[in-house]
Structure 1
Amino acid sequence: MNSTKKSCTGAFVCPALLALALNACNTVGSLGAEPFRLEGQLPADFALKAQAHYGAAGNCDGRSQTKTFETNFKSAPHEYNFRIPVNYRDGMCEMQLARVGLFISARYGDKDWQRTYDNGGLTIVDQLPEGAPVFQADGTLSKTAECLWLFQISKAKSREGEISKLLSCKGAGAHLIGTTLPGKRVRLSFQVRAEEEPYRDNTWVRFPEGWKPCLPKEGWQQCQDPPVFKTYRNETQECTVYPNCTE
């Protein structure tokens, strides 16, 4: 019986050619070959989460995606180090980094409500804004964000009259050019100002021994003029001045 040979043309595809084609699809553009590093130092009782957002390039119908990187609270200053892909392939779609959202968490006590956060972010651009920091010759961009605790007297029923705090971090981000980002290192560190400030102006009056809370004007949040002072609670202790409680 004579065997029939089928040509690798028309409706038939040679296995070797098929494997070569699939391999080419997986490697085109070397997608995801080199991430960038986001690293830095966090103060004690701080944690950081970075959420990288990706969009499909060109006319691909792929949906936007996210990848999350995070480090937990520690009781001492500590380093974080994230390797974030600049791009990668999802099926037949090229996913490109669009931005990185930063969630800066901090705690000032052991209770759940004594945790708060502020936001920052890395923005991917085609051209840097005027005055934006740039990468040095070694491929590193370094920045320090300054965080500040803002205190107030809580109005929540479960802790009414106690001090609660909000976190405010300035400089917690950067503008980055996506095409030059692979292999680079962004070093974003955080530090906390030693002195705290009131959350709202003219609700506390500063004295050498600390801040004293005052009663508001009728229908207002600002202090009466002249100020009339009140107390706040530190758990079971009644206090007149912050942060030392007593004068």
Structure 2
Amino acid sequence: MIRRALRPLCLALLIAPLSACGTLGSLFAERFTFEGELPADFALRAQAHYYVTESNCPGLVSRSQLTKSFETEFQPEPHSYRFAIPASYRIGICQARLGRVALYIKGKHGEKEWQQTYDNGELRVVEELPEGFTSFLPDGTLRRRAVCTWWFQKSHAISRVGEIEKILNCTGAGAYLLNQELGGKTVRLDFVLNPEEEPSRHDTWIQFPEGWKPCLPKPGWQRCQNPPLFQTFKMNGQECTVYPNCTE
């Protein structure tokens, strides 16, 4: 009875629009779990990029059908994320396979729009692991850790000249994944925040026990004069001499 019931459905799908077949194919997609932890005031967007394996398919599949996005929002406390990402799925008569997952690691250091920024990472699907990289453990998990650091600097934007702004820099935000091993596996990527902030450019601020002081650059250069001469900066509407405490 089950076979008889499925036969009309399959015939209908053969003559139905490709979008309907793609929907059915997505129900049976081979997936893996992508999960981890994020610091407070962080968010993550993962954009999966696919390619078709049949030579006659590119004209039948739109670019939007070959990308899937997954996203978590900013939260004021540390929080977790979990996405179920297809490793492959069908779009009509075409087979789509995962090529990579682009990561947009978003952080904010204030409530204004310009106080939000991001860094990039990537999960890359490969046929063979590069030397020095490991695959999934026997329990089906692959664990990685990314360390994110805030790089601070004086803004040169006309609307906020001299105001402290920050750049997000995350190291270790990615992994290589073997395509034949993805189905049913778990990739865990935890993001941790480095408590020590750093200047965005070497030799533009000098560190003292009370904090960092910005120095005047050499004429025509960005680096500090020698001996250094120091300047002020703005932070939260105040004129400051040392970062992050503003005053010494």
- Counterpart amino acid of 2:132? G
Matches within 5 A, 1:1-247: 19=8, 22=11, 32-62=28-58, 63=61, 64=63, 65-247=66-248
- Aligned pairs, number: 232
Runs of 5+ in structure 1 lacking a partner? 1-14
- Counterpart amino acid of 2:39? P
- Counterpart amino acid of 1:72? E
Work out the CA distance in 1 between the residues paired with 2:188 and 2:86: 16
- Cα shift at 1:150: 0.1
Query: What is the alpha-carbon root mean square deviation over aligned residues?
Result: 2.3
Runs of 5+ in structure 2 lacking a partner? 15-20
- Cα shift at 1:17: 11
What is the aligned partner in structure 1 of residue 17 from structure 2? none
Change (3 A) 1:236 1:21: closer
- Cα shift at 1:31: 8.7
TM-score if structure 2 supplies the norm length?
0.88
Change (3 A) 1:174 1:17: closer
Larger radius of gyration: 1
The percentage of aligned residue pairs carrying the same residue is 56
Work out the CA distance in 2 between the residues paired with 1:214 and 1:233: 14
- Cα shift at 1:133: 2.6
* Residue deviations 1:10-57 (CA, integer Å, cap 9, x gap): xxxxx999748649987xx99944300000000000000000001111
* Residue deviations 1:166-187 (CA, integer Å, cap 9, x gap): 0000000000011110000000
Work out the CA distance in 2 between the residues paired with 1:195 and 1:17: 61
- Counterpart amino acid of 2:187? V
Structure 1 residue ranges, 4+ long, deviating more than 6 angstroms after superposition: 15-18, 23-26
TM-score if structure 1 supplies the norm length?
0.88
- Counterpart amino acid of 2:37? Q
Work out the CA distance in 2 between the residues paired with 1:49 and 1:228: 42
Change (3 A) 1:17 1:200: closer
